[in-house]
């Protein structure tokens, strides 16, 4: 992977960047995504945000190597600390857990002024991002699920709007994704069939374990999820 050829995962993220956007890529690592987006005429300016010094230097080198220092900038900071309100129109956050992405968005709420689109790719825990979007008046407008290197990823795209709009069965669709549930692609079926087996194994272990309040609540949570997924898959 480089600035000319992204991974399938990042290529999917890039495909949702609106043409002419000003981009902030949070957790940018080598800045491959903003470099690719600029070189392919998707964005007019970009910021690569990194919290760690090593990846920050990698991003700076990549920007310099491609002679893009007039258009792209690598900045050090935690999450959305690297941008100012009304500075960017599109934010991408890819390759992190859903809880971390949610935390980044929550802590950086004041920096989201002027942002028209969020493109979020959690490695796990997409449901917690969907919850955050609803709570903060962001409308989910698209989702994709894909498999790469034997790992399954979800991409969520949101804009300011009507947060309840894509949802009809909120409990089921928060977990599975309203667009993904409607499509029910082979990758979707594969992901949730695997999760179902995993949860059933855990539930069997909990049934054999000592009854505690914590175990009882965990069992109730798992039973609810299993019911939701079984209904979706049948």
- Taking 70 as the threshold, does the pLDDT of residue 1 lie above it? no
The answer to whether 56 touches 30, Cβ cutoff 8 Å, is no
Give the pLDDT score at 207.
86
- DSSP string of the chain, one letter each residue: --SSS--HHHHHHHTTSPTTEEEEEET-TTTHHHHHHHHTTSEEEEEEEESSHHHHHHHHHHHHHTT-TTTEEEEE-SGGGGS-TTS-SEEEEEEE-HHHHHHHHHHTGGGGTT--EEEEEESS-HHHHHHHHHHTTEEEEEEEEEEETTEEEEEEEEEES-TTTT-SSHHHHHHH-HHHHHH--HHHHHHHHHHHHHHHHHHHHHHHS---HHHHHHHHHHHHHHHHHHHHH-
Alpha carbons 27 and 19: distance in angstroms, whole number: 21
The pLDDT assigned to 214 comes to 87
Q: Shortest CA distance to 29 belongs to which of 58, 1, 4, 3?
A: 58
Q: What is the pTM of this model?
A: 0.94
Bigger pLDDT: 42 or 210? Answer: 42
Mean per-residue pLDDT of the chain: 95
Position 188 scores a pLDDT of 98
CATH code, residues 8-166: 3.40.50.150
Q: How far apart are CA 46 and CA 162, in angstroms?
A: 28
Band (pLDDT 50/70/90 cuts) for residue 58 is very high
pLDDT band at 72 (very low <50, low <70, confident <90, very high): very high
Q: Among 17-21, 93-97, 214-218, which stretch is predicted with the lowest mean pLDDT?
A: 214-218
- Per-residue pLDDT reduced to its tens digit, 122-163: 999 999 999 999 999 999 999 999 999 999 999 999 999 999
Residues 6+ away with beta carbon under 8 Å from 113: 85, 86
Distance in angstroms between the alpha carbons of the first and the last residue of the chain = 38
Confidence of residue 41 (pLDDT cuts 50, 70, 90): very high
**Phi, psi for residue 134 in degrees, rounded to 5:** -65, -45
pLDDT (0 to 100) of residue 179: 97
C-beta atoms surrounding 60 within 10 Å: 20
Q: How far apart are CA 65 and CA 104, in angstroms?
A: 29
pLDDT above 90 for 38: yes
C-alpha span between 136 and 54 (Å, rounded): 33
Sorting pLDDT into bands at 50, 70 and 90, what band is 208? confident
Helices 53-65 + 32-39 axis angle, to 10? 20
Q: What pLDDT digit, counting tens, does each position of 91-103 carry?
A: 999 999 999 999 9
């Amino acid at each position: 992977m480089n600035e000319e050829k992204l991974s399938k995962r990042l290529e999917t993220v890039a495909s949702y960047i609106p043409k002419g956007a000003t981009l902030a890529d949070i957790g940018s690592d080598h800045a491959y995504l903003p470099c690719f987006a600029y070189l392919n005429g998707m964005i007019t300016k970009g910021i690569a945000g990194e919290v760690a010094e090593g990846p920050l230097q990698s991003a700076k080198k990549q920007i310099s190597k491609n002679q893009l220092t007039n258009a792209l900038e690598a900045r050090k900071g935690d999450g959305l600390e690297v941008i100012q309100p009304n500075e960017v129109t599109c934010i991408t956050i890819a390759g992190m857990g859903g809880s971390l992405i949610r935390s980044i968005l929550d802590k950086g709420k004041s920096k989201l002024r002027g942002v028209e689109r969020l493109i979020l790719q959690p490695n796990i825990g997409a449901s917690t991002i969907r919850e955050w979007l609803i709570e903060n008046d962001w409308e989910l407008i698209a989702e994709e699920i894909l498999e790469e290197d034997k790992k399954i990823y979800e991409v969520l795209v949101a804009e300011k709007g009507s947060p309840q709009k894509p949802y009809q069965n909120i409990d089921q669709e928060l977990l599975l994704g309203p667009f993904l549930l409607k499509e029910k692609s082979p990758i979707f079926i594969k992901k949730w069939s695997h999760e179902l087996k995993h949860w059933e194994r855990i539930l069997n272990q909990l049934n054999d374990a000592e009854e505690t309040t914590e175990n009882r609540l965990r069992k109730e949570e798992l039973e609810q999820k299993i019911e939701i997924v079984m209904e979706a898959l049948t």
